[in-house]
Amino acid sequence: LAEIPIVINTWKFQHSAQKAWSVLNEGGDSALDALTAGCEVCQNEQCDFTVGFGGSPDENGETTLDAMIFDGDTMDMGAVGGIRSIKNVIKVARHVLERTEHSLLVGSLATQFAKSFGLPKEPLATNYSLNLWREWRLNNCQPNFWKNVEPDPKSKCGPYKPANFESESDVASKFDTGNHDTIGMIVISRRGHVVAGTSTNGAKFKIPGRVGDSPIPGAGAYADSKIGAAAATGDGDIMMRFLPSFLAVEQLRLGASPSKAAKIAITRIAERYPKFFGGIVVTDNKGEIGAACNGMEKFPFTVANERFPEGITKYVSCT
Ligand code: SD4
């Protein structure tokens, strides 16, 4: 598989890989256009309900989105965190990259920014996401992401108050195979332009205002055309503390193979959080691929290139 041009993305999102590949191959060799178009497919298809609108409602039932594009030629990036009411979040990240000197915009003010570029403001909730949220409320709001707090005695939910005990935190239960699936994508064009990006609706029942790893450079993704790129998925609250995508690219820089670099990045986290759920895809700038994962049995990722224009899903075992 080691050849460029190439598209690699997390999980089994074959339509995204296929779309990115077709843009890359037919549309003038633009890695940025390919990545944007590939991520848009997942956003529109609501890949596993964890990319795009209508998934991962927060504690208030609202869906907010995170996305990033990192350009390995210029080492410039655009990202949005916790944006409200805008569906095409990868497009907003692209505007931050190309139309501003900033790197990251957040929340309602990022919505204003998106609107100024003509992106429609529309509800991100759907019957599906609202039903998920209602069920969770009925089920006493399993406070997934709080610690050392007590629920309101009447509602059994928030507002939470500080409590004087250490609550149990079971890292493995918050993210699992039903609460994952950020798209992280790497594209390398024919001339060796390496870009990486992400798009996600984050984590189910997150505390309103939460931003994950996906829009954080070096965490959700990282790219350097001189070296290669990485993109990560999984428990972003934990993963972002270790900058796994940055670490993997730096390991490539030091001479590690992509598989080794991926393994090092995942192991660094697992040493401290043995049960954390996550995976990473890594490629050098020649298109050699590696992947590693933790907290699941095997991690699927999808590759598209000249031989597999439709995209082919591969698996790496996490042990
Ligand atoms: C996040 N990393 O917001 C994302 C979610 C994800 O697999 O990738 N899940 O934490």
Residue-level pLDDT at 171: 43
> Ligand 1 pocket, 64 CB below 6 A?
no
Instruction: Tell the residue nearest (CA) to atom 6 of ligand 1.
Output: 234
Q: What is the mean pLDDT of residues 273-299?
A: 97
Q: How far is the CA of 101 from the centre of ligand 1 (A)?
A: 26
The interface pTM score, or ipTM, of the predicted complex is 0.97
Name the 3-class secondary structure at 12: coil
Question: Does residue 182 carry a catalytic annotation?
Answer: yes
Q: pLDDT per residue over 123-139, tens digit each?
A: 999 999 999 999 999 98
Name the pLDDT band for 187 (thresholds 50, 70, 90): very high
Residue-level pLDDT at 266: 98
Task: Point out the least confidently predicted range of 11-15, 151-155, 172-176, 302-306.
Answer: 172-176
Contact in structure between 189 and 30 (CB atoms under 8 Å): yes
Do the strands 104-106 and 76-84 form a parallel or antiparallel pair, or are they unpaired? parallel
Annotated binding site for substrate: 210-213, 233-236
What pTM value is reported for the model? 0.95
Residue-level pLDDT at 124: 97
State yes or no: pLDDT of 234 exceeds 70.
yes
**Which atom of ligand 1 lies at the shortest distance from residue 66's CA?**
3
CA distances from 302 to 23, 39, 118, 221, 272 (A): 16, 13, 32, 16, 28
State yes or no: pLDDT of 170 exceeds 60.
no
State yes or no: pLDDT of 167 exceeds 60.
no
> Ligand 1 pocket, 201 CB below 6 A?
no
121 Cβ neighbours under 8 A, 6+ residues apart:
85, 86, 111, 114, 115
State yes or no: pLDDT of 180 exceeds 70.
no
**Which atom of ligand 1 lies at the shortest distance from residue 181's CA?**
7
Task: Point out the least confidently predicted range of 61-65, 106-110, 139-143, 195-199.
Answer: 139-143
State yes or no: pLDDT of 168 exceeds 70.
no
Name the 3-class secondary structure at 306: coil
> Ligand 1 pocket, 203 CB below 6 A?
yes
CA atoms of 275 and 288, how far apart (whole Å): 28
Given the residues 182, 198, 283, 302, select the one marked as catalytic. 182
State the sign of the Cα–Cα–Cα–Cα dihedral 158, 161, 165, 171. positive
Annotated binding site: 210-213, 233-236
